Amino acid sequence: MLWIDPYFPYEELSSTASENRFLRVFVDQPTELILTYTATVDVLHQELMMNQADFLSVKQLEGDVLTYLFPSRYCQSDKLSRLAQKLFGEIGSSYEKVVAITNWIYDNVEYISGSTDSQTSAFDTVTERSGVCRDFAHLGIALCRALTIPARYFTGYAYQLQPPDFHACFEAYIGGVWIIFDATKLAHLNGLVKIASAKDAADAAVASIFGSVKSNSAIVSCEALEPFIPFTYDPNHKMGVAY
Amino acid sequence: MLWIDPYFPYEELSSTASENRFLRVFVDQPTELILTYTATVDVLHQELMMNQADFLSVKQLEGDVLTYLFPSRYCQSDKLSRLAQKLFGEIGSSYEKVVAITNWIYDNVEYISGSTDSQTSAFDTVTERSGVCRDFAHLGIALCRALTIPARYFTGYAYQLQPPDFHACFEAYIGGVWIIFDATKLAHLNGLVKIASAKDAADAAVASIFGSVKSNSAIVSCEALEPFIPFTYDPNHKMGVAY
Amino acid sequence: MLWIDPYFPYEELSSTASENRFLRVFVDQPTELILTYTATVDVLHQELMMNQADFLSVKQLEGDVLTYLFPSRYCQSDKLSRLAQKLFGEIGSSYEKVVAITNWIYDNVEYISGSTDSQTSAFDTVTERSGVCRDFAHLGIALCRALTIPARYFTGYAYQLQPPDFHACFEAYIGGVWIIFDATKLAHLNGLVKIASAKDAADAAVASIFGSVKSNSAIVSCEALEPFIPFTYDPNHKMGVAY
Amino acid sequence: MLWIDPYFPYEELSSTASENRFLRVFVDQPTELILTYTATVDVLHQELMMNQADFLSVKQLEGDVLTYLFPSRYCQSDKLSRLAQKLFGEIGSSYEKVVAITNWIYDNVEYISGSTDSQTSAFDTVTERSGVCRDFAHLGIALCRALTIPARYFTGYAYQLQPPDFHACFEAYIGGVWIIFDATKLAHLNGLVKIASAKDAADAAVASIFGSVKSNSAIVSCEALEPFIPFTYDPNHKMGVAY
């Protein structure tokens, strides 16, 4: 449910280019606006066995997936190919490669609130080694694409995230399925509710603001209606989570 | 018609995210490959009167068009907003804004073959002031988006381009139609045959090559089967060309 | 006079490479440190007539000045040469060129506190068009060097600067003298007290901090002991200020 | 000995800021110029034992050395501090740190002629992982400075370099002495003849060209007048070479 206070008319938009829907609110006079959105959501996810033979070469990828191989505003995979090849090129399967990318980012990039801004990209983060969830996701995506693994940005709500906030992670296309990864290791992979997925944050903003707007604050909260058992990664049973 | 010499199987792919089609050739052994493609094409374009009231504000844009407002790999419009506003913000209509952008690029950026490479982006070109058609297009796109005018990359064949080659220019979304612009002023706007359009060259490569490939040469030629009268821009009759 | 509270030993250092002196304080235990420095300074400056024939070509520059022609960390003059040539290449004398650079920066870059950080360089500012005194100075320096005019960073105190703070501006080498310019137009050119000059802020930091230090606040104040008549730039009488 | 053919007058310049001398040739008419320089040089170097206690903290560095701690045009050490700390922070002595930096660059960056240009900096190379001797040196310098080890660019002739050319490597200030390192491992450390040393290539160009000049070719050759025994690095006997 959506409350717009004070009320302004809105409309829903969709695009053939993605599954994302846009909600457009047109505010034609200066005001202090409060947007409230609540929803009860069924989280449907699968836990899938990731086997050795999961690598889809470029010759097997569907037309809709190819775009996720190419560099984008915040994921300059074209600049990271030697580095990605050196760090992860020898690792066996796609799934193991992306797990290794996730671990490498977690081990090498420090999560520091406020250390980056809306212009920070994977090319910065790979060297400067600090950032927030968005930066961790962009770097993960860029490294996957540099290894010819399609990858996309995923933004959503994360159950039990501390402190509660929007979250960003990424999906890699493995064995014909989009498998989710979180290089910050802050969220339960089976406790995510998708807001949008896209090539990177440029196309998957939680809000795109045009005109002169000053943000005050955002309050995000998320609770489970049923008992929740966090998905735990077990290196012996290679399982991936897909939505 | 397509010849692949020596022959390897190929397939056609399309994507719901764009009108672009992909032709995928899988070469599984070392070879010297010659790809030849010829086509007879009906070029259907419209010459449209661009009037003062052509500006579509963000609240009027269709869902499919919104993505062309956002920054991309080579078009960092988020970094160019103050500059774009300063240079073009006062100009009246969208059409006149984009004509002014095109003229400004033409006047301020030198066309120098070989001065840039596949990593050069609008953020570089706006300062370094040299480049090729691809760079001119990326800068045009970035400046349009910075002014909230949707813009996309257009790559194609250009009749009477000297020397004959693939060409790149850009389209801006004005009054509900994609209008074509060429900041290099090298091509006739009504003599273009589209190969692809997309957010920028990252998504609209003439060829995306995976694996170890050495390019020898590309020969492009284009001839008219009927008499051709170049479209001439006339500042008194504001006409735009759309495909 | 210098107070270090609590007291730690310090030493003075100089370098043959510049006139700058360093004061090195070695703090070997965690503490809350207060540094207070006061001085009564004779400000000796000259107001010099800048004539048409003030351009020193590279063949006339002294060995010590050559280094100020080359790019540095925050002043990538090598990337700005076409732009500088296009904007200012036709202007007559060196002095008029630098006045035009100063005016162009003032007209095109917005002074916005907090819009940039310690990594922001002239290459960013020339496009992003916002910054603080340091960024204005770096862009001025880079544009001068791109025109083969030696230029260096000047940091100091500025009498009547509002709000009181350290200030940064730049010096250009014209007719054999370092003439001061302030693209922010916030300081009186004859009311400056130099702290340091160098190739750019990387070499002329007010303080270089090694180890884990958290800054609380800096209080800067500056008062005149004698009546002060601000230097006013008069386009009819081309005068430059040198220290 | 210097031949200038056809003859133009030249002068020698020096600077108090460095030991480098400049030779300035003023060519005031279009010509095809041949510069030939030959010299017989005594190469005086020391092989020094590098012990554990070689680390000079910032509090011990001389004033002239401090400038080599700061970032410069091609060595953005300020952006590399987390990465440097992560990779090399735990290693014992300064000498071992710089040996590890040298080995890491050698192992992770590919030497590819023509892969970079005069604008390429350490910030690019640390991610793109390809370059030439100049890029290897800049990255070495940036990593040293990020660890508070003063470092500077060294350009010179290298005996038995294949193919013969100018060479670039870097010096780190260890135990009060400038010790030479070559991350390309292409040159014998005791077979170098210094042309210049400086903060980076911006200040130590083999030639700085002003005006419109087209370079044809450079021929470099170097031969030994006495028997030459290459210095071989032996991890058991930690020896450094200083000039």
Name B32's bridge partners.
none
Q: What mean pLDDT is predicted for residues A96-105?
A: 96
Q: How many domains does chain B have?
A: 2
Q: What is the pLDDT of residues A215-240, one digit of tens each?
A: 889 999 999 999 999 988 787 888 89
The pLDDT value recorded for residue B236 is 81
Whether residues C29 and C52 fall in one domain: no
The pLDDT value recorded for residue D98 is 96
Determine, yes or no, domain membership for D7. no
Nearest-neighbour CA in chain D from A226: distance (Å): 42
The pLDDT value recorded for residue B21 is 87
Q: What's phi and psi for B187, nearest 5 deg?
A: -110, 150
Q: What is the pLDDT of residues B121-139, one digit of tens each?
A: 999 999 999 999 999 999 9
Nearest-neighbour CA in chain B from A202: distance (Å): 6
Q: Is A15 a residue whose pLDDT tops 90?
A: no
Hey, are the CB atoms on B127 and C127 less than 8 Å from each other?
yes
Give the count of alpha carbons within 13 A of A4, CB side only: 11
Q: Is B53 a residue whose pLDDT tops 90?
A: no
Stretches in chain C below the pLDDT threshold 70: 52-53
D109 closest CA partner among D86, D83, D88, D127: D127
The pLDDT value recorded for residue A233 is 78
Mutate to test the interface with B, among C76, C78, C83, C135 (most CBs of B within 10 A): C83
Hey, are the CB atoms on C15 and D64 less than 8 Å from each other?
yes
The pLDDT value recorded for residue D203 is 92
Is 0.90 surpassed by the pTM of this model?
Answer: yes
Whether residues B27 and B92 fall in one domain: no
Nearest-neighbour CA in chain A from D145: distance (Å): 15
SS3 A193: strand
Whether residues A26 and A101 fall in one domain: no
The pLDDT value recorded for residue A52 is 63
Which chain C residue lies closest to D205 (C-alpha atoms)? C70
Q: How far apart are CA D243 and CA D229, in angstroms?
A: 16
Helix axes C94-108, C81-88, angle to 10 degrees: 100
Determine, yes or no, domain membership for D2. no
Q: Is B160 a residue whose pLDDT tops 70?
A: yes
Q: What mean pLDDT is predicted for residues B159-168?
A: 94
Hey, are the CB atoms on C123 and B127 less than 8 Å from each other?
yes
Which residues on C lie below 8 Å from B130 (Cβ)?
82
Whether residues C199 and C233 fall in one domain: yes
Q: Which residue has tokens 């040089």?
A: D41
Which chain A residue lies closest to B11 (C-alpha atoms)? A59
C17 closest CA partner among B100, A59, A135, D198: D198
Whether residues B137 and B208 fall in one domain: yes
Whether residues A32 and A82 fall in one domain: no
Nearest-neighbour CA in chain A from B46: distance (Å): 25
Q: Which of A22, A70, A148 is facing B66, going by the closest CB pair?
A: A22
B77 vs B19: which has the higher pLDDT: B77
Q: Which of B83, B110, B123 is facing C82, going by the closest CB pair?
A: B110
Hey, are the CB atoms on A63 and B13 less than 8 Å from each other?
yes
**Amino acid (1-letter code) at residue B240:** G
Name C5's bridge partners.
C34
**Highest mean pLDDT: which range of A62-66, A102-106, C219-223:** A102-106
From chain B residues 10-39, the ones with a CB under 8 A of any chain A CB are 13-18, 22, 24, 26
Mean pLDDT over all residues of chain A? 93
Whether residues A143 and A55 fall in one domain: yes
Provide the pairing of β-strand D21-25 with D10-14: antiparallel
A105 closest CA partner among A85, A90, A81, A88: A88
**What is the separation of C-alpha C59 from the centre of its chain, rounded to a whole number of angstroms?**
25
As to burial, measured by CB atoms within 10 angstroms (0-12 exposed, 13-18 middle, 19+ buried), residue C64 is middle
Whether residues B75 and B26 fall in one domain: no
Whether residues B133 and B28 fall in one domain: no
Which residues on C lie below 8 Å from B71 (Cβ)?
none
Q: What is the pLDDT of residues C68-114, one digit of tens each?
A: 999 999 999 999 999 999 999 999 899 999 999 999 999 999 999 99
Which residues on D lie below 8 Å from A108 (Cβ)?
83, 86
SS3 C151: strand
In this structure, how many other beta carbons lie within 10 angstroms of the beta carbon of residue C151? Answer: 31
Please report which confidence band the pLDDT of residue B15 belongs to, taking 50, 70 and 90 as the band edges. Answer: confident
Contact by Cβ (8 Å): A202, B71: yes
The pLDDT value recorded for residue B52 is 63
Q: Which residues span the domain enclosing A28?
A: 1-38
SS3 C58: helix
Contact by Cβ (8 Å): B75, B147: no
Q: What is the pLDDT of residues A67-87, one digit of tens each?
A: 999 999 999 999 999 999 999
The pLDDT value recorded for residue A53 is 59
Q: For residue C218, give the H/E element and its range.
A: none
Whether residues C197 and C223 fall in one domain: yes
- Counted residue by residue, chain B has a size of 243
Which residues on B lie below 8 Å from A63 (Cβ)?
13-15, 22
Which chain C residue lies closest to D23 (C-alpha atoms)? C63
* Joined tokens for residue C35: 């540094």
Whether residues A55 and A83 fall in one domain: yes
Please report which confidence band the pLDDT of residue D234 belongs to, taking 50, 70 and 90 as the band edges. Answer: confident
Whether residues A234 and A192 fall in one domain: yes
User: For C79, which DSSP code?
Assistant: G
D16 vs D176: which has the higher pLDDT: D176
User: For B237, which DSSP code?
Assistant: B
Q: What percent of chain B has pLDDT over 90?
A: 74
The pLDDT value recorded for residue D237 is 79
The pLDDT value recorded for residue D211 is 87
Please report which confidence band the pLDDT of residue B191 belongs to, taking 50, 70 and 90 as the band edges. Answer: very high
Q: What's phi and psi for B241, nearest 5 deg?
A: -105, 130
The pLDDT value recorded for residue D101 is 98
A73 at the B interface (CB within 8 A)? yes
Q: Is A181 a residue whose pLDDT tops 90?
A: yes
Lowest mean pLDDT among C182-191, D51-60, D84-93: D51-60
Q: CATH no. for residue B125? A: 3.10.620.30
D210 at the C interface (CB within 8 A)? yes
Q: Which of B79, B108, B129 is facing C128, going by the closest CB pair?
A: B79
**Amino acid (1-letter code) at residue A48:** L
The pLDDT value recorded for residue C238 is 86
In this structure, how many other beta carbons lie within 10 angstroms of the beta carbon of residue C221? Answer: 8
Q: Nearest-5° angle of CA B166, CA B171, CA B176?
A: 150
The interface pTM score, or ipTM, of the predicted complex is: 0.94
